[in-house]
Structure 1
Amino acid sequence: MSERKKKISVMIPTYNEEANVCAIYTAVREELLRSCPAYDYEILFIDNKSRDRTRELIRQICAADSHVRAIFNCKNFGQFNSPYYGMIHTSGDCCITLCADFQDPVEMIPRFIAEWEKGYKIVIGRKTRSRENPIVYSLRGLYYKILRKMSTVEFIEQFTGFGLYDQSFLQTLRDLHDPTPFIRGIVAELGPERSEIEYEQPRRRAGKTHNNWYSLFDAAMLSFTSYTKVGMRMAEFFGFLVAALSFLFGLFFLVAKLVAWNSFSAGYAPTMIAVFFMGGVQLVFLGFLGEYVMAMNTRIMNRPLVVEEERLNFPESAAPSEESETETVTL
């Protein structure tokens, strides 16, 4: 009996990627066949309710190649839930995640596998340079430096999730049951010893990026509320400080009035400045509090990561049944 080949899963999330989906499939398939012929493989697309021809093209690919599978979400479930769901529904001995826009270099796949074969359960790609917007690249790096200072978790700078994950770590992800997963934080917090491979991020091959300042802010707040207490601690310490300073200023004005400074008058300016200043501070910290409350609310409701609309090329035993549907979608 011949020895079973190890199976490599490549998971590619898509959203309006009609300009890239066929090219990324061809590039990944050719790289696997050329550089990794000793392995079996599967390519899993998970589509986040694309509005263009992405799904039509994925259907054509699945019809032509049985190694390709697809999950179609019934709605857009965001930039974190959908890829996470795709990862935990791969069937290989390891899973490699990469974006459909070619900003994650396909040629790094054999390098990831080589490090995995050395015994590393996680092999990640870490950007050292980027040909995209230099301002966003710099701000992202600065943010993760700040986050590392604020958190007990050693966050990985310039890590987007691009990498290889052993099946043992994927089982950890399945067991988490986190409705708002942040894979970059989970890898840093729960992942075993990892190997890091540096690379230069190329430009997007075609199409327009779907990340904007709002989505970047959403990612920042998810990591901030999931892995730090600093927002609420800042509010506490600042509250104590302002209370102490207010007491001292109040005591100063009281003494000034009592000790014959009858003509002493500062007018309304200090009062107005203090009111507006404190109003702004309160709004900022109410915003922080709201972010924490929203994060807790999402976890308490424990909604499914995604709700599937359709699967392609999955074996019948892997499809959600009526009895196991709830368990499948709430992993």
Structure 2
Amino acid sequence: MTKLISIVSPCYNEEANIEELVARVRKVMTGLPYRYEHIVIDNCSTDSTVAKLRAMAAEDRNLKVIINSRNFGHIRSPHHAILQSSGDACIWIASDLQDPPEMIAEFVAKWEQGYKLVMAVKPVSRESKLTFAMRRAYYRFLSQISEIELVPNATGSGLYDRQLIQLLQKVDDPYPYFRGLIREFGFEAATVNFEQPRRMRGVSKNNLYTLYDIAMLGIVKHSKVPLRIMTIGGFVLSALCIVVTVLLVVAKLMFWNHFSVGIIPILISIFFFAAIQMIMIGFLGEYIAQIYVHLRKLPLVVEAERINF
């Protein structure tokens, strides 16, 4: 039997892009010798996205739709959709068209060469230069401290073999950092480079908080380095405080009438150590928050409706 390719596209308020996305995926898959299913998971859109998906699904049995009961966020919803795929390979393509669906053919070509993991990489992007520079700096930093080898500038889009999907289904992680999780299994990754275009229609659903959420998730999920820095830093700062204290006491004893410490150094020291403590407590809070999420054992999403499954 002809192999089945699953295409997964998460969306939220993408009424301006969803029809073109489905059409471009259909066009690419028509030119490939595979059966396919296109799973679009809607994160409880408030615009006409769902209505358009219903209309298209009524005419195209290859289009399968999952409608969430509420917005479950940008991490949980895509991961749930990937786990629902049934193809011999699963391809994740974003619904904002910034990761062009035409890359699907390149993903499949790499898969046919024997790669079980193919990742889209954007060495060049037409987004804000400052944003792109900050992303590159973050991924470079994460690669340095991570316990696994990450793929720099990977967007998340790519192809994942059925064997990899089955491993993901065994992982009980209610809030995964997907780009890191798929590297935990040790499969060699092929890459497809592309120049990421600007978003043509609609607005990005990412904001400063969601970007911070993804950044911290990548750090606490795949590195213990911040915890080790806290411990080592505590020892170093303690030793430094002891040395400075001894020097001040000696200076005061030797130059009793002429040496005045004053209150300014004390205030600076208090604010400095308070800032260090707040940063450390913040990192500890991030790790504790991940433990809390795991202990709650909530489902990734709750589905309100399925179409064409």
Is 2:225 the counterpart of 1:230? Answer: yes
Greater Cα offset, 295-304 or 11-20: 295-304
Partner SS for 1:43: strand
- Deviation, 1:203, is 1.6
Is 2:204 the counterpart of 1:209? Answer: yes
Is 2:290 the counterpart of 1:292? Answer: no
Correspondences of 1:100-139 after superposition (within 5 Å)? 100-139=95-134
- Deviation, 1:253, is 2.3
1:175 corresponds, among 170, 174, 185, to: 170
CA deviations on 1:267-315 (whole Å, 9 max, x unpaired) are: 111111111111111111111111111111111222111111111111x
Q: Distance in 2 between matches of 1:253 and 1:88?
A: 62
Partner SS for 1:119: coil
- Deviation, 1:257, is 3.2
User: In the superposition, relative to structure 1, how do residues 249 and 88 fare at CA in structure 2: closer, same or farther (>3 Å)?
Assistant: same
2:8 corresponds, among 3, 11, 16, to: 11
Which residue number corresponds to residue 273 of structure 2?
278
- Deviation, 1:260, is 5.4
Letter in 1 for 2:84: H
- Deviation, 1:194, is 2.0
Correspondences of 1:72-151 after superposition (within 5 Å)? 72-151=67-146
Q: Distance in 2 between matches of 1:57 and 1:103?
A: 20
Question: How high is the TM-score relative to the length of structure 1?
Answer: 0.90
Letter in 2 for 1:11: V
- Structure 2 unmatched runs, 5+: none
User: In the superposition, relative to structure 1, how do residues 63 and 241 fare at CA in structure 2: closer, same or farther (>3 Å)?
Assistant: same
CA deviations on 1:7-39 (whole Å, 9 max, x unpaired) are: 111111110000011111011101111x20x21
Question: How high is the TM-score relative to the length of structure 2?
Answer: 0.97
Partner SS for 1:310: strand
Q: Distance in 2 between matches of 1:304 and 1:229?
A: 26
Q: Distance in 1 between matches of 2:160 and 2:231?
A: 40
Q: Is the 8 A contact 1:169 1:191 kept in 2?
A: no
Letter in 1 for 2:26: R
Which residue number corresponds to residue 22 of structure 2?
25
Partner SS for 1:162: strand
1:305 corresponds, among 300, 303, 306, to: 300
Q: Distance in 1 between matches of 2:255 and 2:118?
A: 74
- Deviation, 1:264, is 2.0
CA deviations on 1:102-152 (whole Å, 9 max, x unpaired) are: 111111111111111111111111111111122111111111111111122
2:49 corresponds, among 36, 51, 54, to: 54
- Deviation, 1:98, is 0.5
Q: Distance in 1 between matches of 2:239 and 2:48?
A: 62
- Deviation, 1:79, is 1.0
CA deviations on 1:240-263 (whole Å, 9 max, x unpaired) are: 122111111211222233335344
Partner SS for 1:75: coil
Which residue number corresponds to residue 189 of structure 1?
184
- Structure 1 unmatched runs, 5+: 315-331
Q: Distance in 2 between matches of 1:191 and 1:205?
A: 36
Q: Is the 8 A contact 1:11 1:96 kept in 2?
A: yes
Q: Is the 8 A contact 1:72 1:310 kept in 2?
A: yes
Partner SS for 1:161: strand
Partner SS for 1:198: strand
- Deviation, 1:191, is 4.4
Partner SS for 2:40: strand
Partner SS for 1:173: helix
Greater Cα offset, 228-237 or 275-284: 228-237
Aligned Cα root-mean-square deviation (Å): 1.2
User: In the superposition, relative to structure 1, how do residues 270 and 109 fare at CA in structure 2: closer, same or farther (>3 Å)?
Assistant: same
Q: Distance in 1 between matches of 2:230 and 2:121?
A: 34
Q: Is the 8 A contact 1:122 1:191 kept in 2?
A: no
